[in-house]
């Protein structure tokens, strides 16, 4: 019987408690993911890509970008620079092609942009040491001009993150009403059978 | 038949086992379940040779992977999708075709995961019934049923990783049942049906041949196997099939681990030990239980090659049988199971750890993998190698002990 209690404990902890514990390991969350058109553009030498970011950049601590690097051919640095509206460089992040598998979502991380910052920022992607033959290819947004970018925000409150995670989970389950009803009825019926006393 | 399905544990424990599984099914995701279900969805459009289709349509398909399983997997999953399509709903095809990370955030993902994993629940319970029929006496039946239903390893392997391995696992357990009743031809047929899903059960065929009492039965086992496999393979036989289904996974890895002895030759470790095991079985006059041979063959492979975590399910029914007959083996099997799980946990693959929770929230995709965390302090490959080596040492010793004890 001991293995019954251990297994029940492990499953219950895995389903209900682990999501909470893991949330403490989350340092940033994703903003709205920008869909890519599937078209790519190479970045090398003077060929750069830029994008204005109109959303509030407060607590922004990185961006995620889809990059193609077939057979890991590029082993040079790619830079992401963040400029304010007046052109001042406020953040910079660098990733080496060696750690960019083909088609992966690559995170460019930097220190969070403080809450006092407001207004628009501009991202510029460049790889001055790469050549056209080993250039990294960046997935473009729907307009086929700018890179498709997903902002990453610093977590400012773990309890807030926990609440949003668990409430988001429940909302997602309940949004599929038919399935949620059937699933909860099955779970409920099995639980009642389990708890019912023999008469 | 009624006796086969008799439940030897209290009904409430049986209900509890089902409840636990239903609780896990919709909330964990490994991308493989989406990939092979996307590929199998083409059966609905009348595609018979999925290997050729995927290769020739690679450019236009959102998921570019080849179909690496054997043909019965495709027909089984494709057929199941056709039957379940009214419950899966209209958005299911779009969800399968969605190649970016947002697929897991879509409404309906819990429904899809639950329905796609539902056959696993039935097969999981069928394995329990089969194992119950492999032991004698109510107490032993109860013991093995509890061992199978209430061990966290199989629950994680079946419902968290969600691969199709439970299908061949059930068929190999069924094959063992027929072999235990002396019906070797039927037993080999079930191994071949299992090999129609994944190729590994073919490894067990020699053990059945060695059990045959006359050459005629050996010949019948060989013929049954060859005819069945040819019938499965012929409709899809093509370069695409051989390059997709044979050039990946077990079939190539098993011959890659070895030591060069010069002049282009290599001593292949798994083949050395498997060959030793086969010769041992050939000369076995005491009739060591087949599950010990099946177990030993698999543990040799896992010890000596880079394995996928879901492969560990293959060995689980045999481990449960061995453990139910001799509980002192838990001193070996428990630490070996933990070591076996810890090796893939350290792979540089986010879906070996925290990302499995992404149906609950996509924030779990943003946690660094254990590999990346360890990399900040030490070389994770070395730790992985130490775990794998410890697992190999313990496993090989255990396999030897299992077989040797029978000789004493």
In a domain, B339, yes or no: yes
How buried is B286 (Cβ within 10 angstroms: 0-12 exposed, 13-18 middle, 19+ buried)? exposed
Nearest-Å Rg of the Cα atoms of chain B is: 21
The nearest CA of chain B is from the CA of A145 a distance in Å of 20
Percentage of chain A with pLDDT > 90?
39
pLDDT at A116 over 80: no
Percentage of chain B with pLDDT > 90?
68
Q: Is B151 on the interface with A (CB under 8 A)?
A: yes
* Under 8 Å between Cβ of A91 and A110: yes
Q: Do A25 and B354 touch (CB under 8 A)?
A: yes
**Residue-level pLDDT at A119:** 73
In terms of pLDDT, which residue wins out, A92 or A103? A92
Of A3, A165, A194, the CB nearest to B151: A3
Across the range B112-126, mean pLDDT stands at 97
Q: Alpha-carbon distance B238 to B226, whole Å?
A: 18
Per the prediction, chain A carries an average pLDDT of 87
**Residue-level pLDDT at A115:** 60
- What Å distances lie between residue A105 and A82, A100, A139, CA to CA? 19, 9, 10
- Among A47-51, B60-64, B117-121, B207-211, the range scoring the smallest mean pLDDT is B60-64
Across the range B176-192, mean pLDDT stands at 94
**Residue-level pLDDT at A84:** 85
Segment (H or E) for B123? helix B109-133
Across the range B89-117, mean pLDDT stands at 90
Q: Which residue has the tokens 């790519």?
A: A40
pLDDT at B239 over 50: yes
The nearest CA of chain A is from the CA of B149 a distance in Å of 8
For chain A, how are helix, strand and coil distributed in percent, rounded to 5?
Answer: 35, 35, 30
Q: Is A20 on the interface with B (CB under 8 A)?
A: no
Number of domains making up chain B: 1
**Residue-level pLDDT at A3:** 84
Give the residue among A64, A76, A77 at the shortest CA–CA distance from A36.
Answer: A64
Segment (H or E) for B391? helix B380-407
Give the residue among B304, B314, B377, B384 at the shortest CA–CA distance from B344.
Answer: B384
Backbone φ and ψ for B255, nearest 5 degrees, come out as -105, 10
The nearest CA of chain B is from the CA of A180 a distance in Å of 8
Residue B13 — very low, low, confident or very high, per pLDDT cuts 50/70/90? very high
Q: Is B370 on the interface with A (CB under 8 A)?
A: no
Strand partners, A94: A79
**Residue-level pLDDT at B396:** 95
The nearest CA of chain A is from the CA of B33 a distance in Å of 19
In a domain, B118, yes or no: yes
pLDDT in tens, B289-311: 999 999 999 999 999 999 999 99
Q: Do B354 and A169 touch (CB under 8 A)?
A: no
Residue B7 — very low, low, confident or very high, per pLDDT cuts 50/70/90? confident
Neighbours of B56 (CB within 10 A): 11
Across the range B198-208, mean pLDDT stands at 93
In terms of pLDDT, which residue wins out, B205 or A69? B205
**Residue-level pLDDT at B133:** 93
Q: Is B12 on the interface with A (CB under 8 A)?
A: yes
Query: Residue by residue, what is the 3-state secondary structure of B193-242?
Result: HHHCCCCHHHHHHHHHHHHCCCHHHHHHHHHHHHHHHHHHHHHHCCHHHH
**Residue-level pLDDT at A193:** 92
In a domain, B5, yes or no: no
**Residue-level pLDDT at A199:** 54
Residues on chain A touching B366 (C-beta within 8 angstroms): 26-30, 152
In terms of pLDDT, which residue wins out, A189 or B255? A189
**Residue-level pLDDT at B317:** 96
Contacts of B195 (CB under 8 A, 6+ apart): B70, B168, B201, B202, B229
Across the range A95-107, mean pLDDT stands at 84
| Best of A19, A108, A139 to mutate (most B CBs within 10 Å, chain B) | A19
Closest residue in chain B to residue A152, using alpha carbons only: B366
HSE-up of residue B106 (Cα within 13 Å, Cβ side): 19
- Among A34-43, B58-67, B169-178, B241-250, the range scoring the smallest mean pLDDT is B241-250
| Best of A190, A195, A197 to mutate (most B CBs within 10 Å, chain B) | A190
> Residue B22: helix, strand or coil by DSSP?
helix
Q: Do A8 and B150 touch (CB under 8 A)?
A: yes
Per the prediction, chain B carries an average pLDDT of 91
Q: Is A10 on the interface with B (CB under 8 A)?
A: yes
In a domain, B41, yes or no: yes
Give the residue among A71, A108, A103 at the shortest CA–CA distance from A93.
Answer: A108
Closest residue in chain A to residue B100, using alpha carbons only: A35
**Residue-level pLDDT at A198:** 63
DSSP structure class, residue A13: I
pLDDT at B120 over 80: yes
Q: Alpha-carbon distance B325 to B46, whole Å?
A: 48
Closest residue in chain A to residue B10, using alpha carbons only: A194
Residues on chain B touching A194 (C-beta within 8 angstroms): 12, 15-16, 19
Backbone φ and ψ for B167, nearest 5 degrees, come out as -65, -60
> Residue B381: helix, strand or coil by DSSP?
helix
* Under 8 Å between Cβ of B269 and B305: no
Q: Alpha-carbon distance A69 to A102, whole Å?
A: 4
Residues on chain B touching A3 (C-beta within 8 angstroms): 146-147, 150-151
pLDDT at B229 over 60: yes
Give the number of A-B residue pairs with CB atoms closer than 8 Å. Answer: 105
Across the range B18-30, mean pLDDT stands at 96
**Residue-level pLDDT at B272:** 94
The nearest CA of chain A is from the CA of B283 a distance in Å of 38
In a domain, B4, yes or no: no
At A163, list the tokens. Answer: 């609440």
pLDDT at B287 over 50: yes
Q: In what order do the strands lie in the sheet with A49-53?
A: A49-53, A121-126, A77-84, A89-96
Closest residue in chain B to residue A165, using alpha carbons only: B361
Query: Residue by residue, what is the 3-state secondary structure of A33-76?
Result: CCCEEEEEEEEECCECEEEEECCCCCCEEEEEEEEECHHHCCCC
Q: Alpha-carbon distance B255 to B274, whole Å?
A: 12
**Residue-level pLDDT at B154:** 95
Q: Do B107 and A15 touch (CB under 8 A)?
A: no
Q: Is B283 on the interface with A (CB under 8 A)?
A: no
pLDDT at B175 over 90: yes
Across the range B38-61, mean pLDDT stands at 90
Q: Do B366 and A175 touch (CB under 8 A)?
A: no
Give the residue among B123, B128, B120 at the shortest CA–CA distance from B159.
Answer: B120
pTM: 0.88
**Residue-level pLDDT at A69:** 84
Across the range B124-142, mean pLDDT stands at 93
pLDDT at B109 over 90: yes
* Domain ranges, residue B392: 11-407
- Among A54-58, B95-99, B121-125, the range scoring the smallest mean pLDDT is A54-58
The nearest CA of chain A is from the CA of B11 a distance in Å of 9
Question: In sequence order, what DSSP letters do the residues of B29-86 get, joined into one string?
Answer: --HHHHHHHHHHGGGGGT-S-HHHHHHHTGGG-S------S-HHHHHHHHHHHHHHHH
Residue B408 — very low, low, confident or very high, per pLDDT cuts 50/70/90? very low
Q: Which residue has the tokens 């404990």?
A: A9
| Best of A179, A194, A197 to mutate (most B CBs within 10 Å, chain B) | A179
Q: Do A172 and B23 touch (CB under 8 A)?
A: no
Across the range B91-98, mean pLDDT stands at 91
Backbone φ and ψ for B150, nearest 5 degrees, come out as -115, 55
Across the range A7-13, mean pLDDT stands at 94
Across the range B108-117, mean pLDDT stands at 96
Residue B406 — very low, low, confident or very high, per pLDDT cuts 50/70/90? low
- Among A94-108, B226-240, B304-318, B387-401, the range scoring the smallest mean pLDDT is A94-108
- What Å distances lie between residue B142 and B6, B149, B317, B330, CA to CA? 11, 10, 15, 17
Residues on chain A touching B26 (C-beta within 8 angstroms): 183
> Residue B27: helix, strand or coil by DSSP?
helix
Q: Do B13 and A4 touch (CB under 8 A)?
A: yes
The nearest CA of chain A is from the CA of B324 a distance in Å of 13
Question: In sequence order, what DSSP letters do the residues of B106-121 get, joined into one string?
Answer: STTHHHHHHHHHHHHH
pLDDT in tens, B339-363: 999 999 999 888 999 999 999 998 8
At A28, list the tokens. Answer: 């940033």
CATH entry 2.60.120 includes domain A28-157: yes
**Residue-level pLDDT at B254:** 75
Nearest-Å Rg of the Cα atoms of chain A is: 23
In a domain, B6, yes or no: no
Of A12, A26, A191, the CB nearest to B363: A26
Across the range B175-198, mean pLDDT stands at 94
């Amino acid at each position: 019987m001991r293995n019954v209690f251990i297994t029940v404990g492990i499953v219950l902890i895995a389903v209900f408690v682990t999501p909470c514990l893991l949330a403490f390991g989350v340092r940033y969350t994703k903003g709205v993911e920008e869909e890519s058109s599937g078209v790519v553009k190479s970045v090398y030498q003077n060929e750069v890509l830029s994008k204005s970011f109109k959303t509030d950049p407060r607590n922004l601590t990185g961006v995620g970008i889809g990059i193609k690097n077939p057979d890991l051919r590029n082993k040079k640095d790619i830079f992401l620079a963040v400029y304010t509206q007046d052109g001042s460089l406020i953040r910079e992040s660098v990733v080496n092609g060696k750690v960019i598998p083909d088609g992966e979502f690559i995170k460019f991380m930097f220190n969070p942009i403080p809450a006092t910052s407001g207004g628009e920022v501009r991202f510029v992607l460049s790889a001055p040491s790469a050549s056209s033959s080993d250039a990294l290819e960046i997935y473009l947004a729907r307009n086929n001009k700018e890179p498709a970018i997903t902002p990453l925000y610093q977590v400012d409150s773990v309890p807030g993150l926990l609440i949003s995670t668990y409430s988001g989970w429940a909302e997602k389950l309940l949004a599929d009403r038919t399935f949620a009803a059937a699933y909860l009825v099955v779970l409920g019926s099995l639980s009642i059978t389990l708890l019912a006393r023999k008469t | 038949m009624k006796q086969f399905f008799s439940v030897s544990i209290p009904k409430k424990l049986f209900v509890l086992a089902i409840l636990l599984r239903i609780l896990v099914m919709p909330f964990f995701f490994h991308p493989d379940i989406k990939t092979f279900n996307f590929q199998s969805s083409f059966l609905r459009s009348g595609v018979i040779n999925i290997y050729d289709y995927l290769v020739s349509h690679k450019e236009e398909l959102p998921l570019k992977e080849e179909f690496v399983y054997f043909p019965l997997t495709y027909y089984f999953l494709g057929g199941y999708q056709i039957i379940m399509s009214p419950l899966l709903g209209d958005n299911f095809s779009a969800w399968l075709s969605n190649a970016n990370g947002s697929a897991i955030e879509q409404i309906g993902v819990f429904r899809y995961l639950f329905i796609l994993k539902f056959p696993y629940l039935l097969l999981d319970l069928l394995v329990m019934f089969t194992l119950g029929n492999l032991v004698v006496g109510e107490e032993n039946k109860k013991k093995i049923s509890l061992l199978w239903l209430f061990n966290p390893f199989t629950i994680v392997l079946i419902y968290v990783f969600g691969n199709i391995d439970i299908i061949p696992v059930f068929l190999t357990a069924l094959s063992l049942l027929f072999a235990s009743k002396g019906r070797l031809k039927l037993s080999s047929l079930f191994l071949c049906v299992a090999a129609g899903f994944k190729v590994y059960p073919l490894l067990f065929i020699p053990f059945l041949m060695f059990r045959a009492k006359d050459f005629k039965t050996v010949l019948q086992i060989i013929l049954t196997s060859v005819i069945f496999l040819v019938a499965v393979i012929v409709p899809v036989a093509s370069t695409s099939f051989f390059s997709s289904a044979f050039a990946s996974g077990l079939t190539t890895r098993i011959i890659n681990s070895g030591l060069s002895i010069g002049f282009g030759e290599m001593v292949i470790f798994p083949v050395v030990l498997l060959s030793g095991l086969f010769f041992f079985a050939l000369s076995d006059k005491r009739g060591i239980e087949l599950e010990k041979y099946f177990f030993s063959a698999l543990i040799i492979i896992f010890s000596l090659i880079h394995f996928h975590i879901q492969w560990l399910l293959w060995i689980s029914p045999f481990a449960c049988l061995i453990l139910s007959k001799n509980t002192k083996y838990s001193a070996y099997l428990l630490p070996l199971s933990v070591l076996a799980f810890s090796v893939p946990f350290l792979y540089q693959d986010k879906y070996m750890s925290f990302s499995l929770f992404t149906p609950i929230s996509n924030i779990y995709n943003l946690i660094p993998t254990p590999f990346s965390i360890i990399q900040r302090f030490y070389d994770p490959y070395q730790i992985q190698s130490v775990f794998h080596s410890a697992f190999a040492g313990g496993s090989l010793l255990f396999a030897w002990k299992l077989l040797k004890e029978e000789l004493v």
